[in-house]
Amino acid sequence: MARIGQKIELSDTDQQELLTRSRSHRLDYRYVLRAKIILLCAEDKTYDEIGSILNVGRAAIAKWKKRFLTSGLDGLNDLPRSGKPRIYTEADRVRVVQKACSKPQGGYSNWSQRRIAEEVGMSQSKVHQILKENELRPHKVDYWCGKSTDPEFEQKMLNIVGLYINPPENALVLCVDEKTQIQVLDRTQPELPLRIGNPKRLTSTYKRHGTVSLIAALAVHQGDVVAQPIAKNNAETFLKFLKKLDRLYTNKKLHIIVDNLSVHKSQIVKDWLSKKRKITLHFTPTYSSWLNQVEIWFNILSKDVLKGAVWHSKEQMVKQIIEYINTYNKTRAKPFNWTYDGQKKSIN
């Protein structure tokens, strides 16, 4: 006959704690397993049923059931082990945590585990263990978008997001920006191509052939890109690009999203736009260039074309970028899936 044994009746507090443990992704699995065993025992499951569900032996089920009946939740913890006593006290552990959370001296900006170990007189492995237990990562830095100082942030943000989500009828929404000072880097030796067991290899020494700048417009709801190299990033260049867009999209009203660069607000641009009712410029809020979707495309360009590439001249780079844009428009161009919840950006 299948064995059930003494019945376990859980209090609401124990039930909730066991459920929390059984669903945890941060606890060691042995503690998760013990919680699941007790929960199934409380459901009057037999040892065979529990063993089948959790892939655990009858002896283990009996052990943790007995320990729980004797000592409650504390019975599911590991018993103190025999052997050499702990070398470091809780105060030593606190010193490691405090050191990791303080600003280092001697001109350093960040702590390393090795230097923390030297400061507190411990082994690096022990420092690593203490930091891991407290979820501290001195080597890691996260960034976030700081709050815009623009007093009209909400109004401008809602205007731009509105253009993305619900554009005006018979209108085209374009995101325009410049990517400047792209370095044309050549290598002092030919690159060694990818081989089985070896990555592509480049010499660490290089030579420069100047820089290339690019201005681009992303059609938000089609995904295609119009771009051209520019010699200077000034008001005259920006105006020429606006005129190009005007000629290219003759039968559409254009809503163009740009950042707050001074060249986008120059007087010659304002004078020309005053005669062009079909074109409206929309400026992103201060420190909010992430609202401009062409920045996403520039990131794609960097990964697909610029990273790890070798060019022998500016002309070669420009030719490759133009070829890439043509290929992108023919094979990959599609709208970005833009969502915004009022708290953070999310682009899929």
**What is the pTM for the complete model shown?**
0.64
Is 148 inside any structural domain? no
Is 143 inside any structural domain? no
Given a contact cutoff of 8 angstroms between Cβ atoms, the answer to whether 340 and 346 are in contact is: yes
Is 6 inside any structural domain? no
Is 181 inside any structural domain? yes
Is 142 inside any structural domain? no
Domain count, the chain: 3
Query: Residue 288 maps to which CATH number?
Result: 3.30.420.10
**Neighbouring residues of 248: CB distance < 8 A, sequence distance ≥ 6:** 226
H/E/C letters for each residue in 175-237?
Answer: EEEEEEEEEEEEECCCCECCECCECCECCCCEEEEEEEEEEEEEECCCCCEEEEEECCCCHHH
Angle at 181 between CA 254 and CA 293, to 5 degrees: 35
Which pLDDT value is given to residue 1? Answer: 44
264 and 321 housed in the same domain: yes
121 and 162 housed in the same domain: no
Coil/strand/helix, residue 23: coil
Is 226 inside any structural domain? yes
165 and 268 housed in the same domain: yes
206 and 337 housed in the same domain: yes
What domain range is 210 assigned to? 153-347
Is 2 inside any structural domain? no
Rounded Cα–Cα distance for residues 33 and 78 (Å): 13
166 and 264 housed in the same domain: yes
User: CA-CA distances (angstroms) from residue 258 to 119, 161, 221, 270, 313?
Assistant: 50, 13, 16, 14, 30
101 and 207 housed in the same domain: no
58 and 106 housed in the same domain: no
Rounded Cα–Cα distance for residues 64 and 43 (Å): 15
190 and 323 housed in the same domain: yes
122 and 211 housed in the same domain: no
207 and 341 housed in the same domain: yes
User: CA-CA distances (angstroms) from residue 225 to 136, 238, 328?
Assistant: 43, 16, 8
The residue from 76, 100, 122 where one domain ends is: 76
203 and 334 housed in the same domain: yes
Is 28 inside any structural domain? yes
Which pLDDT value is given to residue 348? Answer: 47
* Averages of pLDDT over each 10 residues, the chain, 348 residues: 70 90 85 92 91 91 92 86 73 90 90 92 92 88 77 91 91 96 88 82 86 96 95 95 95 94 94 93 91 94 92 94 96 83 50
266 and 317 housed in the same domain: yes
